[in-house]
Amino acid sequence: MSRPPRAVLFDLDGTLVDSAPDLCNAVNRVVVDLGHAPVPLARLREVVSKGGRAMLAAALPQLSDDERAPLLAPFLAHYAQALAVDSLVFEGVSDLLAGLESRGLRWGIVTNKPEALARGVVEGFGWSQRSAVLIGGDTLPRHKPDPDQLLLACDQMGLAPSDVIYVGDDLRDVQAARAAGMVSVAALWGYREPHDDPATWGADHGFANARDLLSAPGLLPP
């Protein structure tokens, strides 16, 4: 980045918010309705960033993709009823967001979660007035790893992509940032499956705690 960034965009699940508990609760309502035993949170946590279909696949591996497809709608309906009940912000996130604001930087959210659900989470954490922009997975026809969402966020903020950093915990986040021409940061504190190796993602930076972004040399203005 040739000049200091003017904004930071974030993925939501696995980056800002540990939403796995509420998502697991919603999955288990579907699972129990089918007559199966509830699934442990640990089984679902590592696939949260991959979306609802991946969570249902982890919870119900004995079903085929076609058999699981009709379960996505009830899962989302259950989740919509309890978006920010047991979810928590990750360690260091509150300090990071406050630090960005104190340095005059705007921040926003670009997620593959459906926009209405994402707005519910953002409202639940009191971020509606603080987040400069919110782009969901259904805001546009294409979503991450395509760059369209990130480019729309820049357009809405009136910024060039080169003035923006994108932070996310999944390979698709890094791919989208690179395609958009942004500096990419891998959120190493987020959700990953055992075979995922962030070192191979090609991110410009990677941090184990959100707070570390504030002190990374040359990344943010002082």
Any catalytic annotation for residue 197? no
How far apart are the C-alpha atoms of 138 and 17, rounded to whole Å?
19
Contacts of 201 (CB under 8 A, 6+ apart): 171, 174, 175, 186
Coil, strand, or helix at residue 214?
A: helix
Q: Which DSSP category does 124 fall into?
A: H
Q: Which of 11, 13, 169, 173 is the catalytic position? A: 11
H-state helical runs in the chain: 20-33, 41-45, 52-59, 65-68, 72-80, 93-102, 115-124, 148-157, 171-180, 212-215
Coil, strand, or helix at residue 152?
A: helix
| Residues recognised as catalytic | 11
